[in-house]
Homo-oligomer: A and B are copies of this chain.
Amino acid sequence: MYFFRNDYSEGALPQVMEALARTNACSTVGYGDDPYCHEAASKIRHRFGCPNADVHFLVGGTQTNLTFLSAALRPWEAVIAAGTAHIATHETGAIEACGHKVCTVPTADGKLRPEQIRQVYADHGAGRDEHMVLPKLVYLSNATELGTVYTRAELTAISQTCRELGLYLYLDGARLAQALTSPGCRLQPEDLADLCDAFYIGGTKNGLLFGEALVIARDCLKPNFRHAIKQRGGMLAKGRLLGLQFSTVFDDDLWLQAARHANQLAARLTEGLRAAGWPLLVDSPTNQVFPILPNDRVVLLEQEFSFERWGAVDDGHTAVRLVTSWATEPAAVDALLAALRP
């Protein structure tokens, strides 16, 4: 069985495993106040060009999203997000469970536009109608849940819109490395801290055992955030594990190398699918590919390959999601393409 189900089907990059083994017996204080975490935070601040940012390490993405959003917002404040946003579709209402409405807008490609943000803001009385929630934070994913990416110009325009309207801009970077290494991407790490108020760098989907690094750039969002982490159950006792893993992958830009591998394998897959004539649901330059297949081919394919059905396109066709990762081998891609020969 070849796995294209997700980018977290295996353990961790060999370098990460090696570091964990090497330091296993060292004694440190807990809760992320250890030398590994300090070192990792320092490397991240340097790599993202934000010497004054706060960096926190959390175990998973839903946890990071709910902890940050609930710490940033007052009870009546709400989030603006694309209809496909992870927080709106696959986090079991975690943001609502913290008390906040997520105002979604439909998109074809998973990407929010400035004019959509303006419209949601206006539709809620521009913050002056107390009978409605007050939109206060824009949530983006990059890469998006559909594998698409924001260009530097697009992210800049959204950032300007947010600042004009007094909205926070938060970027869910579960697959940030994959976005940054996508072909033709001109967005640089240092742009993130400049354009966003906060964002996180995904580790779970990019070769760590687990872990996300939250970067808070905006001063007013920094105080007491460790209280928030602890209260929401996200403070890892052996926080050292998070620091050590991030510290490891920020050496030699290993985090970008791992993502580039995933993207390259996805490109090989896309190319093969196109050559075989299969249509794609969306044009994705990162490590998620969404071919549209006849239903009977999907059933056949499932016998040898593990992947997710994304949704029915029409009565006879289904879009499926194929995900590559740092661990995907070319042979697996070739096997899949062979199985999909027309």
Contact = CB atoms under 8 A, between A and B. Distances in A.
B29 A9 contact: yes
B62 A238 contact: no
Contacts of A24: 10-12, 14, 17
Contacts of A60: 233, 235-237
A20 interface: yes
Contacts of A284: none
A84 B251 CA distance: 43
A89 interface: yes
Interface in A156-201: none
Tell me if A's interface is mostly helix, strand, loop or mixed.
loop
Given A10-B26, A204-B238, A89 B132 contact: yes
A134 interface: yes
A231 B30 contact: no
A75 B78 CA distance: 15
B66 A75 contact: no
Contact of A229 (B27, B100, B130): B130
Q: What is the size category of the interface that chain A forms with chain B?
A: 35 or more
Interface stretch (A141-149, A220-228, A272-280, A288-296): A220-228
A238 B101 contact: no
Interface in A9-36: 9-12, 14, 17, 20-21, 23-31
A130 B99 contact: no
A164 to B, nearest CB: 19
A51 to B, nearest CB: 23
A59 B204 CA distance: 14
Contact of A209 (B92, B224, B241): B241
A10, A62, A64, A231: residue with the most chain B Cβ atoms closer than 10 Å: A231
Contacts of A236: 59-60, 210
Nearest to A229: B130
Contacts of A21: 17, 21
A42 interface: no
A12 B24 CA distance: 7
A320 B19 CA distance: 33
A328 to B, nearest CB: 10
Contacts of A61: 237
Contacts of A59: 59, 236
A281 interface: no
B92 A133 contact: yes
A223 to B, nearest CB: 9
B10 A27 contact: yes
14 contacts: A9-B29, A10-B27, A11-B23, A20-B209, A60-B233, A62-B233, A66-B232, A66-B233, A76-B93, A76-B228, A93-B99, A97-B232, A130-B224, A210-B238
Q: Which 3 A-B pairs have the closest CB atoms?
A: A63-B233, A11-B24, A76-B227
Given A93-B101, A93-B231, A209-B238, 6 more contacts: A76-B97, A92-B131, A92-B231, A94-B232, A98-B99, A233-B233
